[in-house]
Amino acid sequence: MRAAPAAPALRLCLIGSGAIGGRVAELLAAHPGARIDLVGVITRPGASRRDWWSAGCQQITDPAGLAALAPDVVVEAASRQAVEDWGHVALHAAREFILCSASALTDDALRDRLTQVAGATGSRMVIAHGALGGIQAISAASLRALNQVTHVIRKPPAAWRGTPAECLFDPDGLDKALVFFRGSAREAASAYPANANAVVTTALAGVGLDETRVELVADPHTDRNVHQLHAAGDFGILNMTILNEPMPSNPKTSDMTALSITRMLLDRTMPLVV
């Protein structure tokens, strides 16, 4: 049997060069055989290059730069604003736009607009499973009636610094776990966009932004970012708990987020995908 010709390298462009971006680049560098080239990083104007960018990696700050780069995949690991700023052009420039800042999609008009652009251009918008496990099962379960989906996020008090939760409790003063938010996924992600993107992923996989029930917890007795999912419906019952290691460079963010994005990218290049 003749060997198949080698597939061209996958051309990757990142939006954001923070905790997730740097970690994805580090993990990909450990798999050179997968042939994923970081060809560009989108930054805010004036941002410095990072030492983990390869020499050939271009810094992109405007839509024309992204169009000219013509990547295969654009991965957003930046902010809710970045999805608004770059989603449209990414879907025109690449065949796939993977986003982490799922909280942007609580804006129904933006979500509809980007979905339409994806349909019109033949590209795909993919919400990264990010910090979560179990999403594939909830998405599959939604093919039958789903009665109930709840998502609890439990993080150390310090992870809620810089959010509206600071008006509700003193992160240094808690001696026991505090459930400081109960509401819908839409409300949770709108109020806590840097900490609760994952509830949007759960919601869009299952019963939607307004029906998915969310609890947010500050817990001085954990040093991990914990996600608990419960779903019940005609498929049966799902209970999933993942206790994620936080990233040293951004403790609000779980290392699993970068691991799962890297896995997605590697899967794009593998002949066997699990």
Ligand X SMILES: O=C([O-])CC(=O)C(=O)O
Q: Which residues are annotated as a binding site for NAD(+)?
A: 131, 197
Q: Does 255 bind ligand NAI (CB under 6 A)?
A: no
Closest distance between ligand X and the C-beta of residue 212, in Å? Answer: 13
Q: Token pair 């104007």 is at which residue?
A: 45
State whether the Cα torsion 64-130-49-9 is positive or negative: negative
Q: Is 130 left (phi over 0), alpha (psi -120 to 50) or beta?
A: left
Contacts of 71 (CB under 8 A, 6+ apart): 11, 12, 13, 39, 40, 93, 94
State yes or no: is 151 an active-site residue: no
What single-letter DSSP state applies at residue 160? G
Residues 49-88 as x/- pattern, contact with ligand NAI by CB under 6 A: ----------------------------xxx-xx--x---
Q: Does 244 bind ligand X (CB under 6 A)?
A: yes
Q: Which two tokens stand for residue 233?
A: 């419906």
Q: Does 141 bind ligand X (CB under 6 A)?
A: no
Query: 136: buried, middle or exposed (CB in 10 Å: 19+, 13-18, 0-12)?
Result: exposed
Q: Which two tokens stand for residue 271?
A: 């002949």
User: Among the options 88, 129, 151, 227, which is catalytic?
Assistant: 227
Q: Which of 254, 248, 238, 247 lies closest to 131 in space, CA to CA?
A: 254
Among ligand NAI, ligand X, none, what binds residue 196 when CB lies within 5 to 8 Å by partner kind?
ligand X
Amino acid identity, position 242: I
Q: Does 195 bind ligand X (CB under 6 A)?
A: yes
- What is the separation of C-alpha 1 from the centre of its chain, rounded to a whole number of angstroms? 41
Per rule CB under 6 A, count of chain residues that contact ligand NAI: 30
Which of residues 65 and 171 has its CB atom nearest to ligand X in the complex? 171
Among ligand NAI, ligand X, none, what binds residue 42 when CB lies within 5 to 8 Å by partner kind?
ligand NAI
Please give the residue ranges that form the binding site for ligand X (CB under 6 A).
Answer: 131, 195-198, 225, 244, 252-254, 257
Please give the residue ranges that form the binding site for ligand NAI (CB under 6 A).
Answer: 15-21, 42-44, 77-79, 81-82, 85, 100-102, 128, 130-131, 194, 197-198, 201, 250, 253-254, 257
